[in-house]
């Protein structure tokens, strides 16, 4: 399959307060924003085709989000801690994200929350 035949990735961004979107992680950010009020856009998901990884496309997707939400103060996301995703933690830290919280859902599922100022 040549690169023109498939999407290499996507980033899904959600506005806090979008109650029709059922997401415990979005609800966590909404509660966090009550304590730390700011205009934040939430990254629900960022994904890359395996053939597109480690080629700077993730950084380009985030840069497009930073540019598209220029009037916002910050961007937030979560990264799995159970099961752990060390590559994603490293990537987000390199992109300037700071860890601002954690949540455990089950003994097998937990996340860390990150925010980057725009």
**Per-residue pLDDT tens over the stretch 59-109:** 999 999 999 999 999 999 999 999 999 999 999 999 999 999 999 999 999
Place of tokens 């100022």: 117
For residues 107 and 113, give the distance between their C-alpha atoms in angstroms, rounded to a whole number. Answer: 18
**Is the CATH number 3.40.50.1950 carried by domain 3-117?**
no
- List Cα–Cα distances, 70 to 15, 21, 67, in angstroms: 14, 23, 5
Percentage of the chain exceeding pLDDT 90: 77
Pairing of strands 74-82, 40-48: parallel
Instruction: Give mean pLDDT, residues 22-46.
Output: 96
For residues 14 and 82, give the distance between their C-alpha atoms in angstroms, rounded to a whole number. Answer: 23
11 beta partners: 46
pTM for this prediction: 0.90
Residue 52 has pLDDT above 80, yes or no: no
Instruction: Give mean pLDDT, residues 16-35.
Output: 94
Give me the residue spans of the domains in the chain: 3-117
3-state DSSP: the chain helix, strand, coil percent, rounded to 5? 35, 35, 30
Kind and range of the H or E run holding 23? none
Q: What does the pLDDT read at residue 1? A: 46
CA dihedral 60, 66, 70, 76 (to 10 degrees): 170
Least Cα distance to 23 among 42, 39, 47, 9 occurs for: 42
């Amino acid at each position: 399959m040549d690169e023109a035949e498939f999407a290499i990735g996507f980033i899904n961004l959600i506005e806090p307060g979008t109650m029709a979107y059922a997401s415990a992680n979005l609800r966590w950010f909404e509660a966090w924003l009550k304590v730390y009020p700011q205009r934040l856009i939430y990254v629900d998901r960022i994904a890359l085709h395996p053939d597109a990884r480690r080629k700077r496309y993730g950084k380009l997707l985030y840069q497009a989000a930073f540019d598209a939400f220029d009037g916002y103060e910050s961007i937030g996301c979560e990264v799995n801690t159970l099961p752990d995703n060390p590559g994603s933690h490293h990537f987000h830290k390199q992109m300037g994200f700071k860890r601002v919280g954690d949540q455990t859902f089950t003994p097998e599922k937990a996340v860390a929350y990150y925010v980057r100022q725009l």
